[in-house]
Structures are given as C-alpha cells and as structure tokens.
Amino acid sequence: MNTKEALYNFCLRLADNNIVLGQRLAEWCSRGPILEEDLAMTNISLDLFGEAESLYEYAVSLMDNNSTADHLAFLRSEREYFNNLLVEQPNGDFAQTMMKQVLFSAFAKHLYEALCNSHDETLKGLSAKALKETKYHLRHSSEWIIRFGNGTEESIRRTQFALNKLWRFTDDMFVMNDVDEELISMGISFNLDDIHAKWKFTISEIFAEANLQIPDANNVITGGSKGFHTEHLGHLLCEMQYLQRVHPGATW
Amino acid sequence: MSNNNNQFPQWEVFIQEKSGSPFEHAGSVHATDKKMALQNARDIYTRRLEGRALWVVMTDNIASTTRDDEEEFFDPAEDKIYRTPNFYKMPAGTTNL
C-alpha cells in the first residue's frame, strides 16, 4: 500500500466515523428530551457532517477517478465503510447516546490533537478545525454523564448500564493496520496506542467524577477499520443512502 | 414561572456581539444549572456568529418593574426635557460625544 492509498483510506475512516455518528445523532431530531437538547444534538450532528464532508472532499482530491464526496457517502456499502463499531451502535436511551458521544469525542479529541502535528498539511488543517468542535462535543457529553452519575437512582443505573453495554466496542477505535503503519512511517498519522493511553486517562477522569465503574473488557469486538461491522450499520446506511440509491446523481 | 410543571428552570440569555459592546437580551432557555444554561444558550442563540460572549441569569433572579409601576416610575420624566443634552452646542468638528 502506497502513502496515497493509505491516506485515502485513513480519510475515509475518519469521515465515516463522523457521518455515521452524525446520522445517529440526527435520528434524535424532534425526539430530544427537551427542545434545547434536541437543538444541541442536531448542532453536533451538523458539525460531524461538516467534518465528514471536508474529509470526503480531500479523499476525492487524492484520487483521479471522477468520484465525488456524495458518491463516497451515499454509494458505498457497509463492507466499504471503515468507521469504528462504536459509532454505528443504536442510540438506545439518552444516557446511551451521551455515553457513545463521550467515548467517541474523547477519542476524536486526542486523535485530532495528534493530527495537528501531521506532516500532511491538509489533514493538519482539517484536524485543527475539527478539534475546536470536538472539544465542545466532549464538554457537552461529559457534563451530562457527570450529571447523570450524580443524579437519581435511575439515572445512575441507566448510565452505568450504557457504559457496560458500549465498553466492548471501544478497543476497535485503536486497532491499527497497514494503513496506520504506512502513515506513521511518513509522519502523517500517529500510533493509536498512544492515543489509547491519553483517551483512557481522559475518560477515567470523567467516569471518576461521575462515580461510574469502568467494566472488565468482555466480548471485545473489533473490525470496523477493515470494513467488518455489526448488524446495525447496514440498516443505518439503508436509510441514509435511500435518496441517492433511488435517484442516482440527485442534487439540490 | 408556574411551579406545577416538569420543565427545567428558565434562564435569560444575554449576548455580547464583540468585546466592549453591551450585552443584549436575546431570549431564554431551560436548563438545570449554569453550565447547561450557557451551553443551551450557545447552541440556540450563537450558531450564526451572533456573539463572542454570553451571560445567563435565572429568570427568577431578575427583578422587574410591572405595568402598575409605569406611571410613577416613568411618567415624571416626560416633562424634564432639560435632562437631555438638546441645549448644548456641539463643538465644531466633533462627530461623537
């Protein structure tokens, strides 16, 4: 795998994470627990779509194959999606949604921070912009988790349940393959083991403040960055890609 | 605010457009605490670059005049035109005072 192919794949992995999580958050539109939170979640969803679009545009520019950002988003099947398994998990209740947000945002924050030192100028620029948004996303979700963890019996139970349920998908964010190997050797991306350590520190602090127990890792499942997904991604893509599948090339 | 509802408390939102300008009332949000109120205000009122700083204050903490106060509070100023600077000559060349 040459550097360009690796960078292309890496951009898709980042973009796919953003678009899939953005789509999940968009599912909350008009269903938020309160109006203000409904807007907050769709705001974050739009941030994620924006980050995905920039990354798809960059990926397209790396390849001379007449592809477009729309094509990448709406005409690839689940085996061609490289997002991490965590982001495709169903929303569940609000505690599970916020738990997913906190686990992913902490990862994205440390990854974008690292990528601000990338030797690839475009990736560096996109990461610096995304980092500002991601810090806010982490703030938003972590405060909910801390609030719930110090709240009622029910909120504590639901939040701990959410953590127990989603924990087994978190290792997947730090799995490296030949893409990472190539990009690390070129100074474009970084060792995800280092990101993992920083991530663990950040979320441990949040969960300590929320009085939540990090569970033992049981039934750990990985494969997202190789295109192997849980059963949920296909259904998500069906809904998200419907319009382009039925009306190919539709624009507005 | 009535007491028999399940809404979070109401907060008033004030936005400062740029450093040095006054904070202006933008509207209200519901939130359980200061942090949530600031974030909700940010998400609802500053998405389109409306400001660079925010204040939130619980609506219950704002003291307000009532319609009944209008006469005695404000009518007496009606015939005190000498309190406005209408009778001063602007120094030549001055554009702002």
Q: Complex ipTM, two decimals?
A: 0.81
Which residue among A34, A35, A140 sits closest to B39, beta carbon to beta carbon? A140
Residues in chain A with CB shorter than 8 Å from the CB of B44 are 36, 39
Terminal C-alpha separation, chain B: 42
Render pLDDT for B14-44 as a digit per residue (tens, 0 to 9): 999 999 999 999 999 999 999 999 999 999 9
Residue-wise pLDDT for A165-197, tens only, equals 999 999 999 999 999 999 999 999 999 999 999
B23-30 and B10-16 strand pairing: antiparallel
Q: What is the pLDDT of residue A248?
A: 87
Contacts of A188 (CB under 8 A, 6+ apart): A3, A6, A7, A10, A118, A119, A120, A123
Tell me which long-range contacts B16-21 makes (C-beta under 8 A, separation of at least 24).
B16/B51, B16/B52, B16/B53, B16/B54, B16/B55, B17/B50, B17/B51, B17/B52, B18/B51, B18/B52, B19/B52, B19/B53
Chain A partners of B56 at a C-beta cutoff of 8 Å? none
* Residues in chain B whose Cβ is within 8 Å of chain A: 7-8, 29-33, 35-36, 39-40, 43-44, 47
Among A37, A133, A142, the residue to mutate for chain B (most B Cβ within 10 A) = A37
Structural domains in chain A, CATH included, are: 3-246 (1.20.1260.10)
Q: Do B15 and B54 meet the contact criterion of CB atoms below 8 Å apart?
A: yes
Give residue A73's identity as a one-letter amino acid code.
Answer: A
Pairwise CA distance, residues B90 & B43, whole Å: 45
Q: Which residue of A has its CA nearest to B10?
A: A36
> What φ, ψ does residue A113 adopt, rounded to 5°?
-60, -45
Distance from CA of B29 to the nearest CA of A (A): 7
Q: Do A202 and A106 contact (CB within 8 A), yes or no?
A: yes
How far apart (Å, rounded) are the C-alpha atoms in residues A52 and A75? Answer: 15
What tokens were used for A69?
Answer: 């950002």
Give the A:B interface size as CB pairs under 8 Å. 27
Q: Which of residues 65-124 of A touch B (CB under 8 A)?
A: none
The answer to whether residues A177 and A226 touch, using CB atoms and an 8 Å cutoff, is yes
Please report residues of A whose CB lies closer than 8 A to that of B47: 43
Å between B43 CA and nearest CA of chain A: 6
CA distance B17 to B46: 10
How far does the CA of residue A39 sit from the closest CA of chain B (Å)? 7
Pull the structure tokens for residue A139: 């703030």
- Whether A4 and chain B come into contact, CB under 8 Å, resolves to no
Strand partners, B12: B28, B57
Chain B, nearest residue to A36 by Cα: B40
Q: Are A56 and A73 in contact (CB under 8 A)?
A: yes
Residue A119 DSSP class: S
The answer to whether A237 and A78 are in contact (CB under 8 A) is: yes
**How many residues belong to chain A?**
252
Across the interface, do B40 and A40 touch by the CB < 8 Å criterion?
Answer: yes
CB-based contact B43 A43, cutoff 8 Å: yes
Partner-chain contact B44 A34, CB within 8 Å: no
**In whole angstroms, what is the distance from residue B38 CA to residue B57 CA?**
9
Digit-coded pLDDT (tens) for B32-91:
999 999 999 999 999 888 999 999 999 999 999 999 998 889 888 888 887 877 777 778
pLDDT score for B97? 62
Q: Do A36 and B32 touch (CB under 8 A)?
A: no
Phi, psi of B11 (to 5 degrees): -125, 145
User: Lowest-pLDDT range, A59-68, A201-210, A227-236?
Assistant: A59-68
Give the mean pLDDT of A13-33.
97
Q: Does A157 touch chain B (CB under 8 A)?
A: no
pLDDT at B4: 54
Q: State the amino acid at position B83 in one-letter form.
A: R
Contacting residues of B for A37, CB less than 8 Å apart = 40
The owner of tokens 């545009």 is A57
Residue B96, SS3 per DSSP: coil
Give me the mean pLDDT over the A21-33 stretch. Answer: 96
Mean pLDDT for chain A overall = 96
**Chain B within 8 Å of A143 (Cβ-Cβ)?**
yes
Is A39 close to B43, i.e. CB distance below 8 A?
A: yes
pLDDT at B2: 46
User: What are A119-140's pLDDT values in tens digits?
Assistant: 999 999 999 999 999 999 999 9
Q: What is the largest CA-CA distance in chain A?
A: 56
Q: In this structure, are residues A183 and A10 in contact, taking their beta carbons and an 8 Å threshold? A: yes
Residue ranges and CATH numbers for the domains of chain B are 10-87 (3.10.20.520)
Write down the pLDDT at residue B87.
75
Tokens of A204: 């441990």
